[in-house]
Amino acid sequence: MTMPRSAASMDMLLRPRSVAIFGASDDPTRISGRPLRYLLEAGFVGPIYPINPNRTTVQGVAAFATLADVPETPDVALIAVPASLTEQAVRDCVDKGVSAAVIFSAGYAESGEDGLAVQQRVANIARAGGLRLLGPNCLGVFNPQIGFYGTFTQSLDKEMPSPGPLAIVSQSGAYGSHIAYLARQRGMGINYFITTGNEADVDVSECLEWMAQQDDIKVIMAYVEGIRDGERFRRALELARRNRKPVVMMKVGRSEIGAKAASSHTASLAGSDAIYDELFRQYGVHRAETTDEQLDVAYACMRGIFPEGNKLGVVTLSGGAGVLISDAAERYGLDVAPMPQQAQDKLQALLPFATVTNPVDTTAQALNDMNLLAQNIAVMLDEGGYDALVGFFSTVPNTRTLSSPLRKAIEKGCARFPDRLIALEMIADKDVVREYEKSGFLVFEDAARAVAALSALTRFAAAFGREDLTAVTAASPVPIKGGALSEVAAKRLLAAAGIPFLDEALAADPAAAGAAADAIGYPGVMKIVSPDIEHKTEIGGVIVGVHDRASVEDAYRTLIARAANHRPDAAIEGVLVAPMAKKGVEVIVGVSRDPVFGPAVMFGLGGVHVEVLKDVTFRLAPFDLSEAQAMIGEIRGRAMLAGARGAAPSDVAALARLLVDVAHFAAAHRDDIETIDLNPVIVMPEGDGLVALDALLVPRDDV
Amino acid sequence: MTMPRSAASMDMLLRPRSVAIFGASDDPTRISGRPLRYLLEAGFVGPIYPINPNRTTVQGVAAFATLADVPETPDVALIAVPASLTEQAVRDCVDKGVSAAVIFSAGYAESGEDGLAVQQRVANIARAGGLRLLGPNCLGVFNPQIGFYGTFTQSLDKEMPSPGPLAIVSQSGAYGSHIAYLARQRGMGINYFITTGNEADVDVSECLEWMAQQDDIKVIMAYVEGIRDGERFRRALELARRNRKPVVMMKVGRSEIGAKAASSHTASLAGSDAIYDELFRQYGVHRAETTDEQLDVAYACMRGIFPEGNKLGVVTLSGGAGVLISDAAERYGLDVAPMPQQAQDKLQALLPFATVTNPVDTTAQALNDMNLLAQNIAVMLDEGGYDALVGFFSTVPNTRTLSSPLRKAIEKGCARFPDRLIALEMIADKDVVREYEKSGFLVFEDAARAVAALSALTRFAAAFGREDLTAVTAASPVPIKGGALSEVAAKRLLAAAGIPFLDEALAADPAAAGAAADAIGYPGVMKIVSPDIEHKTEIGGVIVGVHDRASVEDAYRTLIARAANHRPDAAIEGVLVAPMAKKGVEVIVGVSRDPVFGPAVMFGLGGVHVEVLKDVTFRLAPFDLSEAQAMIGEIRGRAMLAGARGAAPSDVAALARLLVDVAHFAAAHRDDIETIDLNPVIVMPEGDGLVALDALLVPRDDV
């Protein structure tokens, strides 16, 4: 099988058979000495070639004056020389035919315009020579399976990571090292670690794409400040989703100051942070707010079980803990469903003092006969049908006499249910925790954090179960050429895409308007039509309530006069004659274009809801019906559509359909539309559909 | 000085000079053996008297057959006998004149009606005999300063707590032990630990009250499932606030299932959970959502520094961490304000590679010359004027060669600013963490959690700085006697309390109505007035837009006829004649009575905002202007009052005044009013005040 070029070079970068190190230092504590030290300590499987013109050996390894002197072509070169010497090193790599190079040094794009110029020059040399680059300004990579440490992070000083099904990719070297260290502390093995720094070539998206294809990876932790190629990022996330690789993301820059700091830090265009939220929601990426949360969720993913349902069983030794866990479950959307009555009776017979509904409070009595605890858990999993179970055991596992019996009892209770997630809240020494983990349990020190992590797993399951998200149904459309469009022209395009409008007519003189109104019926609405007048009401360009032929002809003349008066230069297409709007709930649907991710569809209720209360939601286009339904469910004012104050429930099915149609239209025209506004859209009672009263479509200027 | 009885008995309970133990077992691993074991191991300062008729010594200590045989009166008795024997033990304590007893055993109120009866009997015996009771169904108390362990919690098996300025009070024994253990792990010393269990006598409020008065306490952690005496709880929280003792609260039962579980667990009336939120906000109590958060905030309080301002300096070795911390700061309301330009120039001169705005990213270069880092920090604190500083140092403090120099550098940088809070994010071994803590730094493993805790401290500072919150200004009012009130009667009472109404007149016949309308002006509104008709519109009891004398007289007759038709039994006081409402923003102000905490004032915008969008907020009465302003700022639709869509800003000052007046009226009538509704209230443009159009006041049935 031929590998796509990208995957092949990523393979070289993460699984090299030989390594050269430019500027390798004999001092193992220096930045330029650490990679060699780590490679030696970890027993890297292949040959190592230090490049150092001043020494014959470096840290005991035979050194070479130049790369050209090395007897074979190394797969990877680590470039640990100052920025000023990097260009030559990259040229040497190209000349030797090296596959990939890692540039550690800073002083490139992040340091200003001069640095950016150097970075671009280096990148061009590499690209022309078929050399893939990681960095510059990065902490490198590692792969403990083969002892490959192409990194100088000081976080490895005390101990090396163990291999395991976690992959880490980070734009920040320090943060990447930080979470790698924390993961190690929690006993999570890491197979691949990549920091991308300035991303002169290899970027986070490419790493994610590659990681999503590795069989030895069960979960990916990522840190992102900003993305330049939105499409590629999206494709990578979709690939991870399809391959059932959960991505646990720390995307920073949500705050204004944070965003500013991020862009000064990486000199990268961050894009709108809110867009990332929606993107992650769409592709089932878990966005963590804190490092703890990121670790918790990744840790929970390592078992590879993603519960389809959200039913949570809770078993505790203390009533108080049960209440606390129930509160957390509600907060995170898990259902602490009661046990069936029959099962409750069974439990009560086992443990007469227990509270048996769910949460099940066995009280500390259960510790007197561990067999009862085992039976209790088995009954809960069997007859309660819980997708996951949280047990609260506080410091009991750390009590010498109880630790092992308790573990075995829980093991026994869960034995017949290997597909369920069992998370235990317990405070114990590390070796005790490892024992419990070996028995297949997730261990947390904080029950609420356990619940939060379990809830994240159910969202992964939901995302993994969905259809392909990126298909655009619209056939390759006729591009919309630049220049403003009138309301009529916009409606024509959108109507062809399935958007329902009123039965209207464009009239070019008073008599035609009158005839149209007679045909459409009274009372009616009349609007000036011009590609040059975006906001008609501002110039008095709309007259409502025309009630007979004479008033229609009058209104025609008035509108033309107003347009001529306010905008004498405007091209007038005529006057639109429409029936009065039907009754329903007013909503607004819009499209705007994110510079990184393309068109996003916005939805909210009309009137004060969008304008004053800012009660809106949006999604990147395209998306499917279930996303559209989720959008409708997200706005705070959703009750307005459910039939508030005695009104009939609105036709939300039609609304969801509309959102999908707009999204597909916008996606098909991703390169040639700047904004679309359907404002208002009247959603009528269930079964009666909806109708957009007005449409504004602004093509992109630069097309 | 004479101590109030409560404080004196709490003193006895927490600082006894001698202890008796009913049912003391010779087996130190049993529940009834553990208290003696702990007392012996901790070297309790006074005599211990095991009561055990079957042995002459227990765990090597001389035992007594009965309490009567003990040669002195012990201050405290620990009752570790089954529920069936407890009553006799309590009688013995009364006979001997013991001050306080701790009852460990379960099987009382929490187990059903029989248990409740026993509990009440025991409580009555104690009360009559002047014996204070802790429990039953509790884990007891401890005070490590004097080696007093009146508890059987197994969480002490491995090590005993150290004394320190933390107090813990918990309704749940297991949860109390759990957080005591975690506090210990974090190096937090505990002076007082109390679990209250079923609260037959001593309750959480009394413990809080006592803890709030201890000079050796800097922070109180509490766990609450439900409160029976709302007034006492409130007084305790107010005392803690006044004495600058931060209370870090885990109140469980927020969720429906949680609340149900809580009430089945303690058989106590939980009251509305939302009320607790408001109560805690009013009294500056920090309500934690997770145990981690509860520990974090309490830990941060231990330094005793509560920053008045919210300016946060951030110094990191990594740009990425700076972004992450800035995001967290915005989320938690801290201001990552930029450094003054002059200070930035100074920093840039120190560290040419650094980003110096704030967050200050020194880059790892700062580690090469720790002196620069020290200067950098000093400049930030001095010229940046930050109230608190967060430093991100990841695993550097765990690097042998860097740990101590880094700590000393930060120490040096902070030396001149002992009033600032310095929180360090770092991952290090416990002994390293303790070293850093000794230098005065707060240490967190997660930067976002550090920021969250610092933010909680600023809220404590704000609460500590406020006026007395409980004073009710209304002079002891004439009680409102039972029975329904008409709109006119309700308005009369409320107008006397300062609530503005329209200039209206009650008319008893058509002619009087006509004369009144002539005087008030046209157009007008007319409403039927009857104490028996709460919802006038439902029977057509309101007619708007009467425009001349004839239509007023007509309307009078119509209203009387409609009332007679729909409610022939209703007492009719006449018809109210009022001017048409002025223009403004419609709001709703209401009062409802919580069974535990008394009257709460509700506020929201009129129309769909309250009814459909549920956009409301409330506070327990009474409260001051600043609380009222906070309420107005809390509703999601607050922009509607700020002058939305071109309207003039509303008179929010008058609205705040109204809320305070309603709150004081409700507080003064806390025992005789069930509900008040002012709906709608029209808030006019700034300076024009407001007016309540309608008023409903329902006195309490049982008064």
Question: Could you give the angle at the alpha carbon of A640 between the alpha carbons of A634 and A642, nearest 5°?
Answer: 85
Average pLDDT over residues A585-609: 90
Residues of chain B contacting A110 with CB distance shorter than 8 Å:
319
Residues of chain A contacting B644 with CB distance shorter than 8 Å:
608, 611-612
pLDDT in tens, B26-83: 999 888 999 999 999 999 989 999 999 999 999 999 999 999 999 999 999 999 998 8
Q: Which of A398-412, A651-665, B255-269 has the lowest mean pLDDT?
A: B255-269
Q: What is the pLDDT of residue B7?
A: 79
The tokens describing A359, both together, are 């949460």
The pLDDT of residue A2 is above 80: no
List, in sequence order, every residue forming a beta bridge with B506; answer none if it has no partner: B576
Instruction: Please tell me which residue, B353 or A251, carries the higher pLDDT value.
Output: A251
Average pLDDT over residues A155-172: 91
Residues 6+ apart with CB under 8 A from B58: B24, B25, B26, B36, B50, B52
Closest-CA distance of chain B to residue A426, Å: 10
Average pLDDT over residues B343-369: 87
Q: Give this complex's ipTM.
A: 0.86
Q: What is the pLDDT of residue B1?
A: 36
The pLDDT of residue B474 is above 60: no
Residues of chain B contacting A261 with CB distance shorter than 8 Å:
319, 322-323, 326, 355, 357, 359, 361
User: Do the beta carbons of residue A567 and residue A531 sit within 8 Å?
Assistant: no
User: Do the beta carbons of residue A357 and residue A347 sit within 8 Å?
Assistant: no
The pLDDT of residue A679 is above 50: yes
Q: Is the bond into A649 cis (omega within 30 degrees of 0)? A: no
CB of A253 within 8 Å of a chain B CB? The answer is yes
Residues 6+ apart with CB under 8 A from B546: B517, B522, B523, B524, B525, B526, B552, B555
The secondary structure element, H or E, covering residue B283 is helix B273-283
CB–CB of B258 and A323 under 8 A?
yes
Instruction: Please tell me which residue, A302 or B368, carries the higher pLDDT value.
Output: A302
Q: What is the pLDDT of residue A365?
A: 76
Q: What percent of chain B has pLDDT over 90?
A: 70
Q: What is the pLDDT of residue A270?
A: 42
Q: What is the pLDDT of residue A104?
A: 93
pLDDT in tens, A208-242: 999 999 999 999 999 999 898 998 999 999 999 99
Query: Quick check: helix, strand or coil at residue B208?
Result: helix
CB–CB of B317 and A174 under 8 A?
yes
CB–CB of A320 and B644 under 8 A?
no
CB of A310 within 8 Å of a chain B CB? The answer is no
The pLDDT of residue A268 is above 50: no
Question: What band does B5 get if pLDDT is binned at 50, 70 and 90?
Answer: low
**Window 279-308 of A, Cβ < 8 Å to B:** 289-292
Interface test with B, best of A257, A295, A344 (most B CBs within 10 A): A257
Q: How many CB pairs under 8 A join A and B?
A: 261
Question: What band does B703 get if pLDDT is binned at 50, 70 and 90?
Answer: very low
Q: What is the pLDDT of residue A469?
A: 62
Q: Nearest residue of A to residue B30 by CA position?
A: A368
CA distances from B10 to B132, B144, B203, B213 (A): 9, 16, 11, 11
Q: Which of A616-620, B286-290, B637-641 has the highest mean pLDDT?
A: B286-290
Which of A157, A320, A427 shows the shortest C-beta gap to B399?
Answer: A157
Q: What is the mean pLDDT of chain A?
A: 91
Q: What is the pLDDT of residue B63?
A: 97
- The CB-side HSE value for B200 (13 A sphere, CA atoms) comes to 33
Average pLDDT over residues B469-488: 69
Q: Say how far apart CA B221 and CA A322 lie, in whole Å.
A: 19
Residues in chain A, how many? 703
Closest-CA distance of chain A to residue B418, Å: 27
List, in sequence order, every residue forming a beta bridge with B45; answer none if it has no partner: none
Question: What band does A5 get if pLDDT is binned at 50, 70 and 90?
Answer: low
CB–CB of B172 and A319 under 8 A?
yes
Average pLDDT over residues B519-540: 88
The pLDDT of residue B296 is above 90: yes
pLDDT in tens, A96-114: 999 999 999 888 888 888 8
The pLDDT of residue A269 is above 50: no
Q: Nearest residue of A to residue B644 by CA position?
A: A612
pLDDT in tens, B385-435: 999 999 999 999 988 889 999 999 999 999 999 999 999 999 999 999 999
pLDDT in tens, B558-581: 999 999 999 899 889 999 999 987
Instruction: Please tell me which residue, B480 or A88, carries the higher pLDDT value.
Output: A88
Q: What is the pLDDT of residue B267?
A: 42
pLDDT in tens, A40-74: 999 998 999 999 999 999 999 999 999 999 999 99
The pLDDT of residue A687 is above 80: yes
The pLDDT of residue A4 is above 90: no
Question: What band does B307 get if pLDDT is binned at 50, 70 and 90?
Answer: very high
CA distances from A510 to A503, A532, B490 (A): 19, 21, 60
Q: Say how far apart CA B214 and CA B222 lie, in whole Å.
A: 16
Closest-CA distance of chain B to residue A467, Å: 33
Average pLDDT over residues B166-171: 97
pLDDT in tens, B595-611: 888 899 999 998 888 87
CB–CB of B612 and A255 under 8 A?
no
Decide: residue A647, CB within 10 A, 0-12 exposed, 13-18 middle, 19+ buried.
Answer: middle
**Quick one: how far is CA A307 from the chain centroid?**
20
Q: Which of A169-173, A237-241, B271-275, B623-627 has the lowest mean pLDDT?
A: B271-275
Q: Nearest residue of B to residue A327 by CA position?
A: B255
CA distances from B166 to A1, A196, B481 (A): 66, 45, 48
CB–CB of A396 and B154 under 8 A?
yes
Instruction: Please tell me which residue, A267 or A368, carries the higher pLDDT value.
Output: A368
Residues of chain B contacting A330 with CB distance shorter than 8 Å:
254-258
Q: Characterise B589 by phi-psi region: left (phi > 0), alpha (psi -120 to 50), beta (else).
A: beta
Decide: residue A606, CB within 10 A, 0-12 exposed, 13-18 middle, 19+ buried.
Answer: middle
Residues of chain A contacting B323 with CB distance shorter than 8 Å:
225, 252-253, 258-259, 261-262, 265
Q: What is the pLDDT of residue B647?
A: 83
Question: What band does B472 get if pLDDT is binned at 50, 70 and 90?
Answer: low
The pLDDT of residue A680 is above 50: yes
Q: Say how far apart CA B314 and CA B328 lie, in whole Å.
A: 11
The pLDDT of residue A194 is above 60: yes
Residues of chain B contacting A289 with CB distance shorter than 8 Å:
328, 331, 448
The 3-class SS string of B456-509 reads HHHHHHHHHCCCCCCCCCCCCCCCCCCCCCCHHHHHHHHHHCCCCECCCEEECC
Residues 6+ apart with CB under 8 A from B529: B486, B487, B488, B506, B572, B573, B574, B575, B576
CB–CB of A398 and B448 under 8 A?
no
The tokens describing A14, both together, are 């993460």
Q: What is the mean pLDDT of chain B?
A: 90
Nearest alpha carbon to residue B581 among B557, B551, B598, B606? B606
Q: What is the pLDDT of residue A373?
A: 92
Closest-CA distance of chain A to residue B23, Å: 19
Which of B157, B291, B323 shows the shortest C-beta gap to A446?
Answer: B291
Closest-CA distance of chain A to residue B398, Å: 8
CB of B321 within 8 Å of a chain A CB? The answer is yes
Q: Nearest residue of B to residue A395 by CA position?
A: B155
pLDDT in tens, A335-374: 999 999 999 999 999 888 788 899 999 887 788 889 999 9
Interface test with B, best of A293, A311, A327, A332 (most B CBs within 10 A): A327
CB of A27 within 8 Å of a chain B CB? The answer is no
The pLDDT of residue B337 is above 80: yes
Question: What band does A703 get if pLDDT is binned at 50, 70 and 90?
Answer: very low
- Phi, psi of B253, rounded to the nearest 5 degrees: 100, 25
**Window 359-398 of A, Cβ < 8 Å to B:** 359, 361, 363-364, 394-396, 398
Q: Nearest residue of B to residue A254 by CA position?
A: B327
CB–CB of B324 and A639 under 8 A?
no
Q: What is the pLDDT of residue A481?
A: 73
Question: What band does A477 get if pLDDT is binned at 50, 70 and 90?
Answer: low
CB–CB of B327 and A636 under 8 A?
no
Average pLDDT over residues B360-387: 90
